[in-house]
Structure 1
Amino acid sequence: MSTAHDYGDERGPHTIADLDELPEEGRQYELVHGWLIRMVPGILHEECIAEITDILRPHVPADHVLREGYAVAVTDDTLYQPDIALVARDAARRAKKDRMRAVTGEDVLLAVEVQLARSGSWNTVHHFKFQDYALAGIQYYWIFDVADIPMLTAYELDGDVYRRTHQVTGDEIAELDEPVKVAFSPSEITA
């Protein structure tokens, strides 16, 4: 039995079904509380995702898969595509077999978002996704802020809210044990 969560009253007019009616099933959009948000990532954003993926991939547990841009349904009017998601292997197989639009938050162990300074999506990443990923049951959330001094902030779910476990900047080494054991500095991601 799932718990009912309050995602707020200010909702837009769109649902996941509306997103599916867009050309290419709305692949260039996320749906944030009923509002369509167009995603237009640049090269720096994509390269940071690739660097983080390369660091994580050798440490992925056998029962999970690492995916970029995998759709995660939070509610019927909220669908996100984390930059990187660590997804339960069974859920990924089921989604593929059943041609599902998205997995659920409970299928995702880790969501990683890469945030560029002045990109316009700060509020979505640091507020909406921060709250929604927690309420959806995603156990771990990492935000990688690309700035003059890059920063990684790691969170772990505590009940239905995130608790910060690590925050490292620049050349400091992030030594993370969960959900995968890795060590890296934010600077090596942006080098």
Structure 2
Amino acid sequence: MTALPDWMRPPREEGWFAEDLDRLPEAPRHTELIDGALVFMMSPQRWWHGHLVTMLTVALMEQAPSDVSVGREMTIKLDERNRPEPDLLLTTAAYDGDRTWFSPDEVRLVIEVVSPESAHRDRTVKLRKYAEAGIPHYWCIEDEDGAPVVHVYELDEPTGAYAPAGIFRGTLKRPVPFEISLDLDKLTPPRTK
């Protein structure tokens, strides 16, 4: 067994804090902070996942109003011990090429594309944490025999929890956070036999 590299050791007894992520240049890409623990994307990303995220990015950029930007692979500082990195987000923040995270009040929609290794976090942990942070909209996208299925949630402000707003196959039309119309079947290439 090899010893852990020094950068993997928490800087304090309480573990990691959100600002620590900006001081970890050795950390792998897509390192998140969940409850003070570093979470690494260790398994290779599937082509389906990467292609879907790219196509969805383009589709949302084409439809977003001028005051909304699509962010990819950016973290959200939910609190001092949580800084997850969703696959996509929609933000109203002004562009700053040096920024490394967004605050929850700058984020209108978070999108997670479920991978086998992230399924529990995407379906339960992040669902709860994004809602508690007050992010108004959350989409969790699943792979159903090669086709994307979008589980849509809206924040119920009185309870501070997400309420299911629909499960979409084939097409998705939503009036919030802005008018969105997606042909989900066009987001992934057809399967060849």
- TM-score bracket, shorter-length normalisation: 0.7 to 0.9
Higher percent of residues as helix: 1
Q: Is the 8 A contact 1:56 1:180 kept in 2?
A: no
Match of 2:131 among 130, 134, 154: 134
Q: Which residue of 2 aligns with 1:70?
A: 74
Q: Which residue of 2 aligns with 1:167?
A: 167
| Partner Cα distance (1:39, 1:167) in 2 | 27
- Once structures 1 and 2 are overlaid, which stretch shifts more, 52-61 or 13-22? 13-22
Q: Which residue of 1 aligns with 2:11?
A: none
| Partner Cα distance (1:157, 1:140) in 2 | 6
Q: Which residue of 2 aligns with 1:8?
A: none
In the alignment, does 2:13 pair up with 1:15?
no
Change (3 A) 1:150 1:27: closer
CA drift at 1:92 = 3.6
| Partner Cα distance (2:181, 2:100) in 1 | 33
Matching residue's letter, 1:106: D
Q: Which residue of 2 aligns with 1:34?
A: 36
Match of 1:143 among 119, 140, 143: 140
> Which runs of 5 or more structure 1 residues have no equivalent in the other structure?
1-11
| Partner Cα distance (1:70, 1:101) in 2 | 6
| Partner Cα distance (2:91, 2:161) in 1 | 20
| Partner Cα distance (2:111, 2:104) in 1 | 13
Q: Which residue of 2 aligns with 1:124?
A: 121
Give the TM-score normalised by structure 2.
Answer: 0.79
Aligned pairs, number? 171
Give matches, 1:102-113, under 5 Å: 102-113=101-112
User: What per-residue deviation string (whole Å, max 9, x for no partner) do you get for residues 162-187 of structure 1?
Assistant: 11112023x3x222111132223433
> Which runs of 5 or more structure 2 residues have no equivalent in the other structure?
1-13
Matching residue's letter, 1:123: H
User: What per-residue deviation string (whole Å, max 9, x for no partner) do you get for residues 107-157 of structure 1?
Assistant: 1001111113xx121111011110111111111111111231531111111
Matching residue's letter, 2:178: V
- Once structures 1 and 2 are overlaid, which stretch shifts more, 24-33 or 43-52? 24-33
Secondary structure (helix, strand or coil) at the match of 2:138 reads strand
| Partner Cα distance (1:64, 1:73) in 2 | 19
User: What's the % identity of the aligned pairs?
Assistant: 26
Q: Which residue of 1 aligns with 2:49?
A: 45
Give the TM-score normalised by structure 1.
Answer: 0.80
